[in-house]
Amino acid sequence: MPDDDAAILEAVLSEIDGLLRRRLEGTQLAVPHLIIAATKDGQAVLRSNVDPNTLRSIGEDTIEIADEITRQPTEGGTTH
């Protein structure tokens, strides 16, 4: 089942990526983009037009964001 989930996400993300590229084509907005989703078991599926260094930078930023979220106290909870 997880492989089926990944295949479905791959198809959907490919459609989204194609739409984004078509909509930006001919505009003056040339931006790197990353479209990502995860299966229920945490398998990442992505489509992008970014180079490996930009992808690494996005990954580092994502880790920092996750760390910030982890440090935030939950309602009625504590951070330690």
Supply the pLDDT for residue 45.
97
Q: What is the DSSP string of 29-65?
A: -----EEEEE-TT--EEEEE---HHHHHHHHHHHHHH
CB 28 within 8 A of CB 20: no
Dihedral (C-alpha) 37, 40, 44, 46: value to the nearest 10 degrees?
A: -30
- In 3D, which of 50, 49, 45, 51 has the Cα closest to residue 11? 45
List the chain domain ranges: 1-48, 50-80
Once rounded to an integer, what is the mean pLDDT over residues 19-24?
Answer: 94
Supply the pLDDT for residue 76.
65
Supply the pLDDT for residue 3.
73
Supply the pLDDT for residue 73.
77
pLDDT digits (tens, 9 = 90+) for 24-60: 998 999 899 999 999 999 999 999 999 999 999 999 9
pLDDT digits (tens, 9 = 90+) for 52-63: 999 999 999 999
